[in-house]
Amino acid sequence: MTSASEKRLTWSKKQQSGRSSSGQIAVRHRGGGHKRRVRDLDFKRDKIGVLGKVASIEYDPNRGADIALVVYQDGEKSYFLAAQGMAEGDEIMASPEAELERGNRLPLEKIPIGMQIYNLELRPGKGGQIVRGAGTAASIMVKEGGLAQVKLPSGEVRKVSLECRATIGQVSNPGLKKKKLGKAGAKRWLGIRPSVRGIAQHPGSHPHGGGEGKSSIGMPSPKSPWGKKTLGKKTRKKNKYSDKWIVKRRK
């Protein structure tokens, strides 16, 4: 794996530190961290029928998975999510006629039931939106009526159009979840600041705060700092537009 990135496919971005456009904290416990450059990833892979060769497998500081730099026959270069086991020199293609090999991108209609896929589209031509995390993979369970039932890494079974495309294989770096950071400073390098338990705070700062010594939270259900129910409270909207596409909810 190489560390030098393709400069024309990267750009700098100032860290927002969890703040909104007005400068107010929108996401708590963010800030600091190592300086990063954003890699411009191609989630669409819309160079149909053009053969590409993997020039290098690289580290991306903005995600858990590795990325692959591919050079196409016409000389164009792009980054995309690397599949597990992909190596320098591998040839890949995005086409309905492409072979069923790791890294190739095809419509679900052309992918057999049970085969591992990732970087899955939800709308034809929009580009991969789901199954992009390190080590994840989905699989097709059923095809009927122009739709495929896809089992996602969470266990959810969802209907997706057979015209949507996906990449063959599993996302690289499955061992990420077993990685140990080793020290508190490693968390700070990632731009994550410490969080204080609500029970250790002043009662004016958190609903769990106050009390003498090590006291319980003292209320029927846990609350967020703003008094909303949390730790198990369902937040999904009723009658959400995507409910009709979900066959089986995740546990």
Contact 62, 35 (CB under 8 A): no
How many CA atoms does the CB half-sphere of 6 hold within 13 Å?
A: 19
In tens, the pLDDT along 118-162 reads 999 999 999 999 999 999 999 999 999 999 999 999 999 999 999
Domain stop point among 141, 175, 209:
175
Is residue 21 domain-resident? yes
pLDDT score, position 85? 95
Residues 19 and 128 in one domain: yes
pLDDT score, position 2? 59
Query: CATH code at 87?
Result: 2.30.30.30
* 117/200 Cα distance (integer angstroms): 45
pLDDT score, position 206? 94
- Amino acid of residue 82: A
Check pLDDT > 90 for residue 219: no
Domain stop point among 127, 143, 175:
175
Distance of CA 247 to the CA centre of its chain: 22
In tens, the pLDDT along 108-117 reads 999 999 999 9
Residues 97 and 211 in one domain: no
Residues 127 and 237 in one domain: no
Residues 169 and 205 in one domain: no
- Secondary structure class of 148 (helix, strand, coil): strand
Distance of CA 152 to the CA centre of its chain: 13
Is residue 121 domain-resident? yes
pLDDT score, position 5? 78
Contact 32, 184 (CB under 8 A): no
pLDDT range class, residue 97, cuts 50, 70, 90:
very high
pLDDT score, position 170? 97
pLDDT range class, residue 7, cuts 50, 70, 90:
confident
DSSP 160-194: EETTSEEEES-BS-GGGGG----SHHHHHHTTB--
What is the residue range of 100's domain?
Answer: 7-175
Count of domains for the chain: 2
Query: CATH code at 236?
Result: 4.10.950.10
In tens, the pLDDT along 67-92 reads 999 999 999 999 999 999 999 999 99
pLDDT range class, residue 1, cuts 50, 70, 90:
low
For the chain, where are the E strands, in sequence order? Answer: 10-12, 37-39, 52-58, 67-72, 77-81, 91-92, 105-107, 116-118, 138-144, 147-151, 157-161, 165-168, 246-248
How many CA atoms does the CB half-sphere of 48 hold within 13 Å?
A: 7
